[in-house]
Structure 1
Amino acid sequence: MKTFEETLKRLEEIAKRLEDEDIMLDEAINLYEEGMKLVDFCTKKLNEAQNRIKLITQVKDGKIETEDFK
Structure 2
Amino acid sequence: MNTFGHLKFKKEDSFEEAIKKLESIVSLLDEGNLSLDETLSLYEEGIGLYRYCNDYLEKSEQKIQILMNGEEISFELSDAKIKGD
TM-score (norm 1): 0.74
Higher helix share: 2
What does 1:1-70 align with in structure 2 at a 5 Å threshold? 1-53=12-64, 54-55=67-68, 66=70
Q: After superposition, what is the alpha-carbon deviation per residue over 1:9-38, rounded to whole angstroms, capped at 9, x for unaligned?
A: 001100110012321110000000000000
Between the two proteins, the alignment pairs up a number of residues equal to 58
- Structure 2 runs not aligned, ≥5 long: 1-11, 72-85
Give the number of the structure with larger relative contact order, counting CA–CA contacts within 8 Å between residues 6 or more apart.
2
RMSD: 1.4
- Structure 1 runs not aligned, ≥5 long: 57-65
Displacement of 1:55: 1.8
Identity over aligned residues, as a percent? 36
SS in 2 for 1:23: coil
